[in-house]
Every structure is written in structure tokens, then in C-alpha cells.
Amino acid sequence: DGGITQSPKYLFRKEGQNVTLSCEQNLNHDAMYWYRQDPGQGLRLIYYSQIVNDFQKGDIAEGYSVSREKKESFPLTVTSAQKNPTAFYLCASSRLGGHYGYTFGSGTRLTVV
Amino acid sequence: DQQVKQNSPSLSVQEGRISILNCDYTNSMFDYFLWYKKYPAEGPTFLISISSIKDKNEDGRFTVFLNKSAKHLSLHIVPSQPGDSAVYFCAASAGGGSNYKLTFGKGTLLTVNP
């Protein structure tokens, strides 16, 4: 049963700490994406990757980092440089080379305490 | 520069009536459009899509209309049901050099009242 899994569902971080959000997919999709959702802001693209060991910044990449060492995995690190990290984070994946749309994970709610 | 705009943050309709959600875009290179539905604390799920070579696509209670000259699309839900209450995102993509990456609108919160 193919899908995309984000973990954990809820995450709490202290000020000044880095935290890593996990995203794994078994859909054999080439492309993976990280979005952030804030009230009234819609979905804003943080980073995306279309191939292993390569990724590009999205619209709001500052304070975030990613890696793509495996096709199935695209973890997102929220660093202490991110000034307002409390948000709902969504990971997505898609095929490439056509209009295939995205499959989304169920999201991670990050709260800074 | 917002290329996909959903100008209504919220919409409230009565159960059984029609819901019409609107979306405007500015990038003339967009050639494929999608609607996603999102419940709180969940990921968006694909609802319906339309290619720019069509002006209408229908799937059960959901119909998407595309007016390319006006750069406008709309999602019609008939009849609306309480379970349709969610945030609806419009998205668009362009092929070729843009690698089909989706650009999302800010979403419209639909509330269907029993």
C-alpha cells in the first residue's frame, strides 16, 4: 500500500534547538517537496528535490535545510535560525515529466516552547 | 507576486445548495490546474484537475470550469454536503522548463451548514 509518511505528527522544540522532520515515500516518486502552512498564508514552498543528492530552495528556505541521500527520504531540518518555526509542515511527492499532481503526507505540527 | 489567487478566504453555504469556489491566475504558461481539499491537521488530498485544452471536467458532484481568456477557474460542488467542509486549494502548473512544479493559492475555507 503505497504512500507518504511524515513523522512525528506533533513535535515540540525549545528555543535555539534544531529539529528534524521525517518524510518517507514508497511511491517510487522522483520529486519530493516541503511546504509550510500558516493561517491565511496557504502552502508555501520551503525546498524541493527532483533527484537524489540534489535539491533547490523554494520561496521561504531561510532557516531550513534538507538532504536527499535516498530516493525515498527527504528530511527537513528546522534550524535555530528560523525565526518563527511554529507551523504545520507538509511533505509531498510526485512523478516527473508530466502533470501528475502531488501526493501529500499527513503533516507534522511543530510548536516552539 | 502571487500567481494563483483565491480571493475569497471563506465561503458558507447551506447543505444541498451549490458551492462555487473561484481561482484566478496570472501566469499564461500554466496549462494544468488542480483542486485539493484539506481537513485540519491532515495533508491535502487531490480532488479534481483540468487541462488547458478543456473548459470543463466533471467527477460526480464536483465540476471544474476553466476560462482561459479570463485566466479564471472555478470549482462547483452540487449538492453540497457537511462533509465537504474543508479548505480548498487551487493549484496550477506549467510543463517544460518549469518541471510541472505546482503553484498553490492561499485556499478557501468552505463551511457547509446542515
Whether the pLDDT of residue B7 is over 80: the answer is yes
d(CA A113, CA B52): 46
Could you give the 3-state DSSP secondary structure of residue A44? strand
> What is the nearest CA distance from B110 to chain A, expressed in angstroms?
14
pLDDT class of A100 with cuts at 50, 70, 90: confident
Written as nine digits, the cell of A23 is 518524510
Is A100 or B36 the better-scoring residue by pLDDT?
B36
Q: Which residue of B has its CA nearest to A37?
A: B106
d(CA A3, CA A14): 31
> What is the nearest CA distance from B73 to chain A, expressed in angstroms?
17
Total Cβ atoms within 10 A of residue B37: 20
Residue A74 vs residues A7, A68, A103, B38: alpha-carbon distances, Å: 12, 5, 14, 22
Are the Cβ atoms of A99 and B95 closer than 8 angstroms?
Answer: yes
Identify the pLDDT of residue B96. 62
CA dihedral A84, A54, A49, A47 (to 10 degrees): 10
Nearest CB to B41 within list A40, A100, A107: A107
Best interface-test mutation with A: which of B23, B47, B100 has the largest number of A CBs within 10 A?
Answer: B100
